[in-house]
Amino acid sequence: MKLATPRIAASLGLVFLMLAGCAGESGPERPGPPVDPSGDIAMTAAQPFTAFPQEDVNTLNEIRRKLVYRCMAEAGFPAYRQENLAMPARVSSLLNLERHIVGWASERHARAQGFGSDAPPTPVEIVSFDAGHDKLLDGCVADAGARIGPKFKRTIDLATDLANTLSAERVEVFDTAKYKELNASVLACLSGKGFDADERTREDIGARPEAFGVKTGGLAEMSEPVLKREPGTIEVIPAQPARRYVPTAEEADLAAAMFTCQTETGALTDLRTLVNDAQRTAWTRHEDDLANLKTDLTTLLKTATTLL
C-alpha cells in the first residue's frame, strides 16, 4: 500500500522533534470548548519562538495542497474536488507547553487541561492502492512545487531543519543547576501534598504524571476509518473535527497541585524565565538563518498567492 502524498500534503505540518501535547489512553468525550480557552495563549505569548514563521510555512503548504488537488481532479480523480478543511491557525508547534514547567494560566486551567493538549481538526485525506494514481500524483506534486518557485523544497526543508534544531537546543535549560533547584522545591512541595515521584522515572521523563504513578487521560475518541484496501482503488478518509484532551480525575488533581506548588514556592516566574531565556539563546544562535528563511518565505508567498 502507498499512502497518497496528499494525505501528507493535506496538513503538511513540520516534523518537529518535540511535539506539543500528548495523547494517552482515550478518555470519555467531553463536548464544548476548553474551560479556559485563553490559557494556552497566555502561556505562549511571551515566548521567543512565537516569532518562528510557521504560519508562512503553513500557508505555502496549503497552497501546494490545493494545487495538487486541482491537478489530480483535472487528471480524472473527482475525489480530489471535495471541500477540505483548511488547517487552523494556532500557536507554533515549536512551543511545546511543558505543563509541569510553564503550562497553566491558573488552577482552573490546570484542572481542565491536565498535562495534555487538544487536537486540531484534520482535513479530508486520500489513501491510494492504485499505482497509476500514484504516478500521476508524483507529477502533480512536483509541478505544484515548481510553480510556487524553484526554492520551494529547499525553503521548506530549511524551515524543518531550523525548527528541529531550535526545539532540541531549547531543552538545554533542563540541565542547569537553577532549573534543578527550582524543580526540587516544587517536588518537595508536591510530596507534602501526597504526590511522591519515582526518581528513576522522573529522571527519564520529567515531572509528568507517569512519574507519580498517575494515569493520564487522552483525546476524545473518534471513529477510525475502515479501509477496503482493494488494488487499483483510492479511498477517502473524511475530515475530523477538533478533539478535546480530557485528563483523568487523578491527573487533574496532580496538575492543580503542581500549579499550586509552583506558585507557593515562587518557582513559577523563574521557571518561565528560564524557558524563555533558553528559547532566546537558541534563536540568537540561528538568527541569520532565520532571517534568510523569512525572506525566502516572503518571496515564495508573493508567487504562490497568485496561483489559486
Q: Please name the residues in contact with 176: beta carbons below 8 A apart, sequence gap of 6 or more.
A: 274
> Measured between alpha carbons, how far is 43 from 186 in angstroms, rounded to an integer?
19
What pLDDT sits at residue 47? 85
pLDDT tens, per residue, the chain with 308 residues: 444 443 333 333 333 222 233 333 333 333 333 344 456 766 677 788 888 999 899 899 989 989 999 999 999 999 998 766 444 445 566 776 677 778 788 999 999 999 998 888 887 888 999 999 999 999 999 999 999 999 999 999 999 999 999 988 988 888 889 999 999 999 999 999 999 999 999 888 888 999 999 999 999 888 788 899 999 999 998 888 888 899 999 999 999 999 999 999 999 989 888 888 999 999 999 999 999 999 999 999 999 999 99
Cell of residue 6, nine digits: 496528499
Amino acid at site 118: D
Q: Determine the pLDDT at residue 92.
A: 62
Q: What is the DSSP string of 252-301?
A: HHHHHHHHHHHHHTTHHHHHHHHHHHHHHHHHHHTHHHHHHHHHHHHHHH
Domain residue spans of the chain: 5-304
Distance of CA 43 to the CA centre of its chain: 15
Q: How many CA atoms lie within 13 A of 35 on its CB side?
A: 16
CA distance 71 to 121: 24
Amino acid in position 17: L
The per-residue pLDDT for 182 is 93
Looking at residue 93, what is its pLDDT? 64
Cα torsion 73, 89, 236, 152 to 10°: value is: 50
pTM of full prediction above 0.75: yes
